[in-house]
Amino acid sequence: MAFSTQGSGALRSEINITPMIDVLLVLIVVFMVVVAMSHEKGLRAEIPQPASKDSPPPKIDTNIVIQIAWAGDKQAPALKINQENVKWEDLHDRVRYLQATRRSCCLREGGRRN
C-alpha cells in the first residue's frame, strides 16, 4: 500500500495494483502452458473408412417370412411378408417379385401358436 503525501489533508491509503497484475499475468502464463501440455485435446472420433476393393459385399437376407395373424372369428386374417403388411390379393405377385430379386431364397412360414 502507498500513502499519499500531497496536500494538507488526512492521510489516504491507495492500493498498488502493479503486483496484482504481475501475479495475474503469471497465472495466465501458467494456465496456458498447462493447457498446451495436456495430451487430451478432445474426444476421439472414429471416422468411417471407405470399403476396400477386396472386402466382400454385404450379405443380403435371403429369407422370406410369411406371417398370418388371426384377428378374430369373422375377420380376415392379417398377412405380413417380412414384417410388411400385404393384402391377400397381392400375395402371389409379392412373393414372385421377392423370389425374382434374390438369387437364392428360402421361403418360411412364421406364426404364433396359441
In order along its 114 residues, the chain shows pLDDT tens digits of 555 556 666 777 888 889 999 999 999 999 999 888 877 666 778 888 887 777 777 776 667 778 888 777 778 888 888 788 888 888 888 888 887 777 665 555 555 555
| pLDDT at residue 106, as a whole number | 59
**AA letter at 18:** T
Per-residue b or e along 29-60, where b marks 16 or more CB atoms closer than 10 Å to that residue's CB = eeeeeeeeeeeeeeeeeeeeeeeeeeeeeeee
Is the distance from CB of 94 to CB of 86 less than 8 angstroms? yes
Residues in the chain: 114
68: Cβ contacts below 8 Å, ≥ 6 apart: 77, 78, 79, 80, 109, 111
| pLDDT at residue 63, as a whole number | 74
Q: Is the pTM of this model over 0.85?
A: no
C-alpha cell at 37: 501440455
Query: Rounded to whole angstroms, how far apart are CA atoms 58 and 102?
Result: 14
Residue with cell 502464463: 29
| pLDDT at residue 37, as a whole number | 82
